[in-house]
Structure 1
Amino acid sequence: MNQKEFESVINLPANIRYEYFIKKVVDSEEVWGLYENGWSVTEDDKGNKLLPFWPKKEFAEYCATDGWEIYSSKSMDLYEFIDDFLPNLKKEGFKPSIFLNNADSAVLEVDILIEDLKTELEKY
């Protein structure tokens, strides 16, 4: 990915970045997060616990700032993400924060993310 493409995508509105995330992770069959003895966690203004995910390594690394410098980008298999990781995330009371750009992200319920990923997978 070149710098121009990176900058154009990272600056898109959160809902468009979410659509990009769905297409890219289904295409690559992997999801990226930041990991260091556990996944990076944040929370929203309402106190919801959020776990951020990105479609590519470069986007995750871009967000390894403001206390997350110790974290490294780590990928996860898409099918493991859908079948195991997201259901566990829901049980633990976390919400997915999709494609954070250090300003905002798409925050949604786990079930909606799973459904959107499965719908996109049906196209392949």
Structure 2
Amino acid sequence: MGFDSQQIETFFRLQTNSRYDAIMTHCKQQKDLWVLHDEDGCILVDLGKDKVLPIWHDQELANQWRGNEYESSQALHIKFTDFVEKWLPGMAKDGFNLGIAPNLAGEGIVVSPEEFATDIGVKLAQED
């Protein structure tokens, strides 16, 4: 069951650290995640020297965040095990970072895949 409009509004008003903590709690329970994608692939936000993949713990949060800039994108469901076993090692290899549940203004904590893995208590597999 996804977030309703009131829960979405409340979540996006939380401080950055509180949104980060919500994702950490969610991931420590090994629950699935959501990203945005379009016909070109997953949405990566260019922050100059960093390419960042925004992630959320609810489909409706991802859909709400896309706004006008990413309106042609859709939320993509990622199984937790796939995220840990495939996505994180691949992102580490490619030098991408994670944007943890950014709010509607685009503010959020950015971490490396290695930091994220450590924070949720999993060992990051090394990709060959």
TM-score range, shorter chain: 0.7 to 0.9
Q: Which residue of the other structure, out of 1, 19, 22, is the alignment partner of 1:20?
A: 22
CA distance in 2, matches of 1:39, 1:116: 23
Indicate the SS of the match to 1:80: helix
Q: Which runs of 4+ in 1 moved over 6 A?
A: none
Consecutive unaligned residues of structure 1, counting only runs of 5 or more, are: 120-124
Aligned-residue offset at 1:98 = 0.8
In structure 2, the partner of 1:34 is 36
CA distance in 1, matches of 2:88, 2:60: 22
Q: Which residue of the other structure, out of 73, 86, 90, is the alignment partner of 1:71?
A: 73
Map residues 29-68 of structure 1 onto 2, 5 A cutoff: 29-37=31-39, 38-44=41-47, 46-68=48-70
Aligned-residue offset at 1:27 = 3.7
Asked if 2 retains the 8 angstrom alpha-carbon contact of 1:26 and 1:78, the reply is no
Question: What value does the CA root-mean-square deviation take over the aligned residues?
Answer: 1.6
Q: What is the TM-score of this pair, normalised by structure 1?
A: 0.85
Consecutive unaligned residues of structure 2, counting only runs of 5 or more, are: 123-128
Indicate the SS of the match to 2:42: coil
Asked if 1 retains the 8 angstrom alpha-carbon contact of 2:59 and 2:75, the reply is yes
